[in-house]
């Protein structure tokens, strides 16, 4: 099992639009935050594809990956993920092949099989396409071919893309992608930042079923962890109320911009709502340095993760950076 002082740390940014803020500001804050965690020594910075959500500015994920990669120096930048049902594999290969040529050795392609949106928007994205369970594995294989070496007589070639070997990751919140990642010998990232219920079962299936590949010799697991760190437990709990409000909006089907923190927010809710938030944030680590250290150690002990990917929804951008600095100190100076 990895120890906390050797664990790789990374960041998944939903590029939240804050109440009273603009999309442009959210995009610039994402770049500033990426530069901050790069300076801390984080391994990668991922952006997630969502559509028709007024509080999330990462819908054009490949464009945003280029924005972040162009404004940083060393950190890997990628998608967490591209929602493959929304796109033709050739288009994805060309976009990420272009990024790989612009930023060699720094681009990751994480793939999900959900639409990342509501049913009406899904139809707008996919037109009349009807997705089947067999489509995702087939399209992953197609992407692997398009990003791999060009073969003699290959009828369709991604230009750019062919030969770039952009690393492909499979993402999931259930068991389907765990099995597929194991079968293909690909690294696996579990979306425990919003759906932790099947985390341990998915990791177990992935590790037990893993087949080594040319890309990966042994299993590699990333876990998503909602993080709110502050100098004290009380302040962290207060700052976390912005995340609690966001989650409650998701549960109610009322998504909006990231809200400022509210004192006593959880206590004001019905017990069923508190329970729903707790289930959603079952892998969250919220507190002062010692609480954060204990929480991360517990997650590592339970999962044996190779890498932790933080999601940090704090309203004040400076306090979000402070939270990530506290987590880095807790891990690497423990």
- The whole-number average pLDDT for the span 121-132 is 60
Q: What pLDDT band is residue 255 in, cutting at 50, 70 and 90?
A: confident
Tell the residue number behind the tokens 């976009």, with chain if given.
95
Q: Which CATH number applies to 4-332: 3.40.50.1110, 3.20.20.70, 2.160.10.10, 3.20.20.30?
A: 3.20.20.30
Q: Quickly list DSSP for 289-308.
A: HHHHHHHHHHHHHHH--SEE
Residue 124's pLDDT is what? 54
What's the residue count for the chain? 334
Taking residues 304-328, report their average pLDDT.
Answer: 98
> Which of 92-96, 112-116, 313-317 has the lowest average pLDDT?
112-116
Mean pLDDT of 111-131: 63
Say what percent of the chain tops pLDDT 90.
87
Q: Kindly tell me if the per-residue pLDDT of 130 is higher than 90.
A: no
Q: Which residue has the tokens 């790989």?
A: 100
State residue 309's pLDDT score: 98
Confidence at 119, pLDDT banded by 50, 70, 90: low
Q: If pLDDT is split at 50, 70 and 90, which confidence band does 267 have?
A: very high
Structure-token match 């594995």, residue found: 137
End-to-end CA distance of the chain: 16
Q: What is the C-alpha to C-alpha distance for residues 114 and 117, in angstroms, rounded to an integer?
A: 8
What is 206-272 written as a DSSP string? HHHH----SS-SS--EEEEEEEEE-SSHHHHHHHTHHHHHHHHHHHHT---PBPPP-TTTGGGS-HH
* Predicted local confidence at residue 116, as pLDDT: 47
Question: Helix or strand or coil: residue 20?
Answer: coil
Helix (H) or strand (E) holding 86, with range, is none
Query: What integer best gives the mean pLDDT of the chain?
Result: 94
Band of the pLDDT at 197, cuts 50, 70, 90?
Answer: very high
Yes or no: say if 111 and 143 are a contact pair by the CB < 8 Å rule: yes
pLDDT at 319: 98
As a whole number, mean pLDDT of residues 207-234 equals 97
**Which pLDDT score, from 0 to 100, does residue 52 have?**
87
Task: Report pLDDT for 1.
Answer: 60
Query: Which tens digits make up the pLDDT trace of 53-111?
Result: 889 999 999 999 999 999 999 999 999 999 998 899 999 999 999 999 999 999 999 99
What are the pLDDT digits (tens) for 131-181? 666 789 999 999 999 999 999 999 999 999 999 999 999 999 999 999 999
Number of H helices, E strands in the chain: 12, 9
Task: Calculate mean pLDDT across residues 207-214.
Answer: 97
Alpha-carbon gap, residue 299 to 306, rounded angstroms: 11
CA neighbours closer than 13 Å in the CB half-sphere of residue 119 = 2
Model confidence band, residue 26 (pLDDT cutoffs 50, 70, 90): very high
Backbone φ, ψ for residue 283 (5° rounding): -100, 10
> What is the rounded distance in angstroms from the CA atom of residue 192 to the CA atom of residue 226?
8
């Amino acid at each position: 099992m990895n120890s906390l002082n050797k664990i790789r740390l990374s960041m998944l940014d939903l590029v939240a639009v804050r109440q009273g803020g603009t999309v442009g500001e959210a995009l610039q804050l994402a770049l500033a935050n990426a530069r901050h965690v790069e300076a801390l020594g984080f391994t990668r910075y991922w952006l997630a594809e969502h559509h028709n959500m007024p509080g999330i500015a990462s819908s054009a994920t490949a464009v945003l990956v280029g924005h972040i990669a162009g404004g940083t120096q060393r950190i890997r930048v990628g998608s967490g993920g591209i929602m493959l049902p929304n796109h033709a594999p050739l288009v994805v290969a060309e976009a990420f092949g272009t990024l790989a040529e612009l930023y060699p050795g720094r681009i990751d392609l994480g793939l999900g099989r959900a639409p990342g949106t509501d049913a009406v928007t899904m139809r707008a994205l996919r037109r009349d396409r009807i997705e089947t369970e067999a489509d995702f594995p087939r399209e992953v294989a197609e992407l692997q071919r398009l990003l791999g070496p060009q073969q003699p007589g290959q009828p369709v070639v991604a230009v750019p893309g062919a030969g770039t070997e952009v690393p492909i990751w499979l993402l999931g919140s259930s068991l389907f992608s765990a099995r597929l990642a194991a079968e293909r010998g690909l690294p696996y990232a579990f979306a425990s930042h919003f759906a932790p219920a099947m985390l341990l079962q998915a990791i177990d299936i992935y590790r037990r079923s893993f087949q080594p590949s040319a890309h990966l010799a042994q299993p590699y697991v990333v876990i998503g962890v909602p993080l709110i760190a502050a100098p004290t437990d009380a302040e962290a709990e207060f700052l976390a109320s912005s995340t609690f409000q966001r989650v409650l909006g998701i549960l109610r089907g009322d998504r909006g911009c990231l809200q400022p923190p509210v004192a006593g927010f959880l206590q004001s809710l019905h017990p069923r709502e508190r329970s729903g938030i707790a289930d959603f944030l079952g892998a969250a680590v919220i507190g002062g340095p010692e609480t954060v250290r204990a929480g991360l150690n517990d997650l590592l002990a339970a999962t044996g993760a190779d890498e932790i990917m933080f999601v940090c929804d704090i309203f004040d951008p400076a306090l979000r950076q402070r939270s990530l600095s506290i987590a880095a100190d807790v891990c690497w100076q423990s």
